[in-house]
Amino acid sequence: MDQEYDVVILGTGLTECILSGLLSVNGKKVLHMDRNEYYGAACASLTLEQCWKRFSQEGSPPEKLGNKQAQRKYSIDLLPKFLMANGKMVKLLLHTDVTRYLQFKSVDGSYVLKDNKIMKVPANESEALSSSLMGFLEKRRFKNYLVFCTEWEENVPKTHSDGIGPNVPTKKLIKNYDLDPSTQDVVGHALCLYRDETWQEQPAKETIRRTKLYIESLRHYGKSPYLYPIYGLGDLPQGFARLSAIYGGTYMLNKPIEGFTYDAKGRVTGVTSEGETVKCGAVIGDPSYFAKNVKQVGQVVRCICILNHPISNTDNSESVQIILPQAQLKRKGDIYISCVSASHEVAPAGHYIVLVSTQVETANPQAELAPGLQFVGSCLHQFWSVDPLLVPTNDSKVDGIHISHSYDATSHFETIANDVIRIYKEITNEKDVDYLFVPKAKPKEEGH
């Protein structure tokens, strides 16, 4: 602890571990500490016994969750999220070659709520033709919309037919194709992953970019646009931790953080743990380490469910994402459902781990998940949490402290990737970081 580092990073959540890896590769001398005895922080994958302890459950895990040997196969993500196959997170993994430490498996399907029914978002042309998600004429309009987005290029004006330039509102694009309200829900929430109804006011270029990302990701593996790591999400932070260590990064777990030291101008100069202070030029950390430098902007309610059956109306799929658009539920925000199972080596055979989550809107958070839980069906056990959404209030240019955002309710990684890039730019003072998204190889999928 008597050395000096360019950056001290607090917490081993995914955001912090990615930054640790990127900055170490960039030549920064990094010390990474966590108060916990395991990697991952809020992104950790826990054993069943660890979950029992974390969520203060009584007694020990019951036999209905599997015998002692079967229970060892659980790897339960506190924050399950899927990776868009051609999204920013996968490109970061490929750019850094962290994929050498990981294996991925495609998610079986993407589903959306329509008229109180769970319906599959078509993954190919034959599924589109047979799907009851849309009527015949609507399918043609939807197809024309997808073709337009595929061919559209921001810097090629001849592709901007019908006046759809980069900055016209999305609502004009939607109107041009006369998409009905339920199809608009599919486009805005299942394809583009917008979180509320303001998306139609966004520039058309953003909606087109998101639509193209979905289509390109879908082409990678065919079943859905999503990937999920074998053995769970917890291996992602550890993969970036290994990368950091290769480039000289130092890791210390089970280290309580007792305070910080500052210079006369109020800029951080060190981090104190167990009576020792390590010197540094900057500090990165998750919001839990900086109570005085963050504010709460909301809450997320999550329910982790263990099932002994697949979710109904998903073709007995072993892994799925389901989005319940807010307009279908008379809410301000969507409800997200993700399901993984033994096919990803995170549960014993015949068992499924499902997460239902949303941003809290009322004084009764658990009741808000009822619309999602009704589609999940009977549960063997549930773990509930209500977590604050925290954002930094400090000026990192002044105090040298860079705080990540809390993880939101979404079941995908795109918002986390954006937060990583924000902090990376703050630390390095680089304006153009597009090079971080230049892949070196395609991610390994089990069986490929």
Q: What is the mean pLDDT of residues 252-276?
A: 95
Whole-angstrom Cα distance, residue 153 to residue 410? 28
Q: Is residue 87 part of a domain?
A: no
Question: 285 and 150 share a domain?
Answer: no
Which of 221, 248, 281 lies at the terminal end of a domain, its last residue? 221
Question: 278 and 418 share a domain?
Answer: yes
Question: 37 and 152 share a domain?
Answer: no
Q: At 271, which CATH number? A: 3.50.50.60
Going by pLDDT thresholds of 50, 70 and 90, the confidence category of residue 338 is: very high
Question: 248 and 194 share a domain?
Answer: no
Question: 151 and 175 share a domain?
Answer: yes
**pLDDT for position 448:** 44
Question: 241 and 194 share a domain?
Answer: no
**Unique residue bearing structure tokens 């190919």:** 124
Question: Based on the structure, what is the number of domains in the chain?
Answer: 2
Question: 213 and 237 share a domain?
Answer: no
Which of 221, 249, 267 lies at the terminal end of a domain, its last residue? 221
86-130 pLDDT, tens digit each: 988 898 888 888 988 889 999 999 999 998 899 999 877 677 777
**pLDDT for position 439:** 66
Whole-angstrom Cα distance, residue 194 to residue 413? 13
Q: Is residue 443 part of a domain?
A: no
Q: Is residue 137 part of a domain?
A: yes
* HEC-encoded secondary structure of the chain: CCCEEEEEEECCCHHHHHHHHHHHHCCCCEEEECCCCCCCHHHCEECHHHHHHHCCCCCCCCHHHCCHHHHCCCCEECCCCEEECCCHHHHHHHHHCHHHHCCEEECCEEEEEECCEEEECCCCHHHHHHCCCCCHHHHHHHHHHHHHHHHCCCCCHHHCHHHCCCCCEHHHHHHHCCCCHHHHHHHHHHHCCCCCHHHHHCEHHHHHHHHHHHHHHHHHHCCCCEEEECCCCCHHHHHHHHHHHHCCCEEECCCCCCEEEECCCCCEEEEEECCEEEEEEEEEECHHHCHHHEEEEEEEEEEEEEECCCCCCCCCCCCEEEEECHHHHCCCCCEEEEEEEHHHCCCCCCCEEEEEEEECCCCCHHHHCHHHHHHHCCCCEEEEEEEEEEEECCCHHHHCEEECCCCCCCCECHHHHHHHHHHHHHHHCCCCCHHHHCCCCCCCECCC
Question: 156 and 207 share a domain?
Answer: yes
Q: Is residue 31 part of a domain?
A: yes
**pLDDT for position 411:** 76
Rounded to the nearest angstrom, the gap between the alpha carbon of residue 369 and the centroid of all alpha carbons in its chain is: 19
Domain extent at residue 164: 124-221
Question: 161 and 289 share a domain?
Answer: no
Question: 217 and 237 share a domain?
Answer: no
Question: 217 and 246 share a domain?
Answer: no
Query: What are the residues facing 373 on neighbouring strands?
Result: none
Q: At 130, which CATH number? A: 1.10.405.10
Lowest mean pLDDT among 2-6, 29-33, 385-389: 2-6
Question: 216 and 282 share a domain?
Answer: no
Does the pLDDT value for residue 309 go beyond 90?
A: yes
Q: Is residue 157 part of a domain?
A: yes
Q: Is residue 33 part of a domain?
A: yes
- pTM for the full model? 0.90
Lowest mean pLDDT among 72-81, 266-275, 375-384: 72-81
**Unique residue bearing structure tokens 């970036």:** 240
Q: Is residue 66 part of a domain?
A: no
147-206 pLDDT, tens digit each: 999 999 999 999 998 889 999 999 999 999 999 999 999 999 999 999 888 999 999 999
Which of 221, 251, 269 lies at the terminal end of a domain, its last residue? 221
Q: Is 113 exposed, middle or buried (0-12, 13-18, 19+ CB in 10 A)?
A: buried
